[in-house]
Amino acid sequence: MNHKKRLSSILLPTLLIASLGACDNRQERAQAAYSEYQAAVVNGDLREARRALGALVAADDSNASYWIELAKVSLQLADYSGAYDAFQRAHELDRGNVEVLTAMTQLALRSGNLDLAAENAKQLELVAPSNPAVPLTNGYVALRRGDFADAERQVAALEALSPYGGSGKVLQSRIMMAQGKVDAAVGLLRKQIQQQPSDAESLRALASIYELREQWRDAAGVLQSYLGYVPNDATARVRLVEAELRSQQVEPAATVTLAGIGKDDVDKLLAPWLEVGKQDLIADRLFAWARTADVGRRIAAARFLALTSNPARVLELLSSEASLPVKAANVIPNALYGAALVQSGREQEGSERLDAVLKLDGTNREALRVRAMLRSKTGNHKQAIEDAQKLVAADQDSASGRLLLARIYGAAGDANNMRRTLWDGFHQVSDNRVIFDALMPLVAKSDGPQAAARLSQEFYDKRNQQLTRSFA
């Protein structure tokens, strides 16, 4: 539904005005937040709309409609955990709201939390037994326990309730995948999309299969179509950038990146460029964009550019923010500035700045990364390892810190710890290709082709587990 139309049906201005008739401070804040929300909707600024709605629910926590609207805006921004939390609060306020229970069930499915989805579906069945989300959830639960017959029955029930929806076809394709019929799953989804080109669920599922099979060109084409119908899905935009890069389509990847960089999470959108090692190919255009960006996005761009071959760009971008002395308000710009000084050959000056940063913030990732590299370069492997270990502890979901620690162990001649670090990263960081690519030659060399094949299968299974969440 159109966002502006929802405004009239969910947050009725007349009701709001009536509920804010008193003039206490809380109600005045709610009225001001609502006005800001209205302005953001008119301007098409979803982030500002969400901020204003956050202020609105802070001022008036007891209105389920406000929480529903906050959840829907969060959905448009692809903040699924935030959307679930908002729907959950709305459910606490209005237990019989079918729309809310349906959304909670679908979001739990999409996150892969089948137990939570099943719990929500049971509640939903009590108030709306013919809701399609009930057999959809039951189908995925049956699939998890390997009961294909029951899963097929749930598909039939789902399609009887929603014959034109894509959920039944997506569930059917997932059953086919579990049975090893990948080509049949692709064919089913392609046929569904031919009949209903705007079926976002089927598009998302088909893209996941192509990514799993590493058919990157096909994945990119499907993701482009999907974003045409769901333009605010920032996660899909990141996936499209990766698919374009892995299919050697640098210019399309750059176009997508620059189109989304003003509204999406900059670090996430740029991450694929680092993963495939093509960061220098977008550095010039990113630098040109960052020179006129706001401070937060300029710092994010500098964080990326610090990993390219021209540290002078970082020095220019952060010359105003990285002032001395180092203090809490400028610790991140100074960390990046110090790193750039080191990379540009001004090692003493840069090291002093990094030390000052880490004295104030001992877990600063940028400072730890560069100081660890510098110490390893000068042969001080013991302290370099300590810095890299702190980096891993500060950002356990990041592959880059684990790779750096492994490389430093390798430079120190400690092959066992190098290998252990990569294995830990492979098991603890979800389906990360960079760690897999670093680990594979070590396993193939030391353990042989059968061990390498087992590692490859485990990586496939991990990616399958991650990617097929989007089937829900």
What CATH number corresponds to the domain at position 404?
1.25.40.10
Pick the closest to residue 368 from 394, 330, 329 (CA basis).
394
Residue 311 covered by a domain: yes
Cα angle 279, 282, 287; round to 5: 110
Q: How far apart are CA 162 and CA 236, in angstroms?
A: 26
- pLDDT number for residue 466: 66
Domain span at residue 311? 279-361
Peptide bond into 325 cis (omega under 30): yes
Residue 420 covered by a domain: yes
Contact, 364 vs 358, CB < 8 A?
Answer: yes
Together in a domain, 398 and 350: no
Neighbours of 265 (CB within 10 A): 16
Q: Round to the nearest angstrom and report the end-to-end CA distance of the chain.
A: 21
Together in a domain, 327 and 386: no
pLDDT tens-digit series, residues 76-105: 887 888 999 999 999 999 998 999 999 999
Looking at 94, 119, 141, the residue that finishes a domain is 94
Q: How far apart are CA 2 and CA 330, in angstroms?
A: 41
Together in a domain, 313 and 385: no
Residue 118 covered by a domain: no
Give the mean pLDDT per block of 10 residues along the chain (472 residues).
37 42 68 87 85 90 92 86 92 93 88 86 92 92 91 94 88 92 96 95 93 94 96 92 97 96 91 93 96 94 91 95 94 94 93 94 92 91 95 88 94 94 89 85 92 90 67 52
Residue 148 covered by a domain: no
Together in a domain, 414 and 349: no
- pLDDT number for residue 24: 59
Residue 300 covered by a domain: yes
367-375, long-range: CB < 8 A, 24+ apart: 367/335, 367/338, 367/339, 368/394, 369/339, 369/400, 369/401, 369/404, 370/306, 370/338, 370/339, 370/342, 370/343, 372/404, 372/405, 372/408, 373/404, 374/342, 374/347
Pick the closest to residue 292 from 309, 269, 310, 316 (CA basis).
316
- pLDDT number for residue 147: 94
Looking at residue 163, what DSSP letter applies? T
- pLDDT number for residue 468: 55
- pLDDT number for residue 194: 96
What's the pTM? 0.79
Pick the closest to residue 429 from 409, 461, 452, 400 (CA basis).
400
Alpha-helical (H) ranges within 162-215 are 167-178, 182-195, 200-212
Together in a domain, 340 and 392: no
Looking at 94, 119, 152, the residue that finishes a domain is 94
Together in a domain, 323 and 392: no
- pLDDT number for residue 145: 86
Residue 292 covered by a domain: yes
φ, ψ dihedrals at 236, nearest 5°: -65, -35
Together in a domain, 345 and 403: no
Pick the closest to residue 191 from 169, 175, 212 (CA basis).
169
SS3 content of the chain, % helix, strand, coil (to 5): 80, 0, 20
Provide the domain count of the chain. Answer: 3
Looking at 298, 327, 361, the residue that finishes a domain is 361
CA 199 to chain centre: 22
Residue 433 covered by a domain: yes
Together in a domain, 310 and 386: no
Pick the closest to residue 260 from 83, 78, 102 (CA basis).
78
Residue 357 covered by a domain: yes
Together in a domain, 357 and 393: no
Together in a domain, 1 and 90: yes
Contact, 318 vs 287, CB < 8 A?
Answer: no
Together in a domain, 339 and 300: yes
Together in a domain, 345 and 410: no
Contact, 184 vs 174, CB < 8 A?
Answer: no
